Structure 1
Amino acid sequence: MSEKLKIITTEDGSHSLYHEGLQETYHSFHGAYRESIHVFMIYGLDSWLAKNPAKYPIRIFEVGFGTGLNAWLTLVWAEQNQIPVLYHTIEPFPLEKELYSQLNYIEHDHGIWHFHKYFEALHQAPWNEGEPVSEYFNFKKDKTTLEEAQLYPSDVVFFDAFAPSKQPELWTKEILGKVTDSMRPGGLFTTYSAKGQLRRDLKELGLEVEVVPGPPGKKEMTRAWKSSKP
């Protein structure tokens, strides 16, 4: 897969990857780092924690390990807040070291540079096995597709698949139902997508859907909550 990927620099100076086969980037051109912080930290983890200030550990499921940026930022978040996180991610096409070792995330934010060693640790962690990567971050990555993945109960879902126009099979109501069924009561689903069909499907699956401000370059995104009643 590496021959179809090339490193690009987004508007905030952070790297992303361009998939030549799909003609799609892994992150927003307007800033990979800013997008991940906005969509998954601010409107994901921080939002869930505001409603559940003493409910630990936090169980997170990520669709698309990709460059590892979301997982690494979550690890940093867990260590800075001293909140235990159980993180499960899937990725059918892992990056080779020649690619992920060139990504500049650890240099992008000097305030968290001292967490740099964990970025490579996440990529080097064995597939299909769970293990602690740091004091507050337990990590499991499965080399599989969403269709085939075994899902565990989750409090927060980072739905970071390629766009519906590029990977429509991952955005069907059936697949979304598989994900939302695995969410625990009160769980949060966050994604960069603002598609109307996505919102309608999530509502039909019983979630309370919110239209919230999007990351730089995008007016809106989608966040949804599962009922707190079992």
Structure 2
Amino acid sequence: MSKVKIITTEDGSHSLYHEELKETYHSFHGALQESKHVFIEKGIRFWRNKEGLPDFLKVFEVGMGTGLNALLTAQLAKENNISIEYTTLEPFPLENELISQLNYPDQSDDPKLKEIFKRIHQVAWEEPIELYPYFQLTKHRLKLEDYKIGKEQFDVLFFDAFAPNKQAELWELSALKKCYSLLKRGGVFTTYSAKGQLKRDLKSLGFEVETLPGPPGKKEMVRGVKQ
């Protein structure tokens, strides 16, 4: 595995720097605030408000990485008493020694998050695991191109791949088309990127595309709703 080192972002939360790609896993302006803004607020909370605050949803994530998005989703489920089934892809899992040093659970007053974060990374791959009554996690050690689409469709899709200039294959039309197929009608695709080509491709697939204000330090982000 290429060398990956821990960095501290401007909001005090950790991220990782991939030395081979010369790319960080999150915004250096703040990993925690970026994930909360892009995926929790503009993804899950938006979908729930749009759908009348249902107490159950299914989330699909492209790029588990550090597990921060999964942790924040588990926290949201716990605090709001809603049930979430969370499916995530990560073809190149991080080493346990590195994961154990990440400070995400310390950013919250909830002492249980440390154990939840630990379990997110330690539970078995390729099978659904109930981490606690409100949160079920299924991790697949797969690339998006290798994930088999079944009958199950998702309400919200977190697209958290490396940037288009670092991981171009995941931003191609064929990959985005697969994301479209994974979502239910009315489902939400959310990502930190706001590239013009991304917006054009999403529109061509049938998404209603919005360019939204980004998290602190980033001007814009993109959300799509499947029509």
* TM-score for both structures, normalised by structure 2: 0.97
SS at match of 2:161: coil
In structure 1, C-alpha distance between the alignment counterparts of 2:142 and 2:72, rounded to whole Å = 22
1:96 shift after superposition: 1.1
Q: Which residue of 2 aligns with 1:118?
A: 116
In structure 2, C-alpha distance between the alignment counterparts of 1:56 and 1:68, rounded to whole Å = 23
SS at match of 1:86: strand
Q: Which residue of 1 aligns with 2:226?
A: 226
In structure 2, C-alpha distance between the alignment counterparts of 1:222 and 1:190, rounded to whole Å = 6
Moved over 6 A (4+): none
Q: Which residue of 1 aligns with 2:81?
A: 82
Amino acid at match of 1:149: Y
In structure 1, C-alpha distance between the alignment counterparts of 2:100 and 2:191, rounded to whole Å = 26
Q: Which residue of 1 aligns with 2:100?
A: 101
Q: Which residue of 2 aligns with 1:129?
A: 127
Alignment of 1:1-230 (within 5 A): 1=1, 3-110=2-109, 112-151=110-149, 152-227=152-227
Q: Give the root-mean-square deviation of aligned CA atoms.
A: 1.0
Query: Which residues of structure 2 form unaligned runs of 5+?
Result: none
In structure 2, C-alpha distance between the alignment counterparts of 1:42 and 1:132, rounded to whole Å = 24
Amino acid at match of 2:9: T
Amino acid at match of 1:137: F
1:56 shift after superposition: 4.3
Amino acid at match of 1:217: G
In structure 2, C-alpha distance between the alignment counterparts of 1:96 and 1:165, rounded to whole Å = 25
Q: C-alpha deviations, 1:164-221, integer Å up to 9, x for none?
A: 0000000001110011111101100000001000000000000000011101110100
Tell me: CA distance 1:105–1:58, structure 2 relative to 1, closer, same or farther (3 Å). Answer: same
1:54 shift after superposition: 4.5
Amino acid at match of 1:118: I
Amino acid at match of 1:120: K
Q: C-alpha deviations, 1:76-135, integer Å up to 9, x for none?
A: 00011111001000000001110000000111222x333221000000010111111111
In structure 1, C-alpha distance between the alignment counterparts of 2:161 and 2:76, rounded to whole Å = 22
In structure 1, C-alpha distance between the alignment counterparts of 2:198 and 2:75, rounded to whole Å = 30
Between Structure 1 and Structure 2, how many residues are aligned?
Answer: 225
SS at match of 2:49: helix
- Identity across the alignment (%): 55
SS at match of 1:209: strand
In structure 2, C-alpha distance between the alignment counterparts of 1:53 and 1:62, rounded to whole Å = 23
Contact 2:55 2:81 in 1 (8 A): no
Amino acid at match of 2:157: V
Q: C-alpha deviations, 1:19-59, integer Å up to 9, x for none?
A: 00100000000000000000001101110010112534201
Amino acid at match of 2:221: M
Amino acid at match of 1:12: D
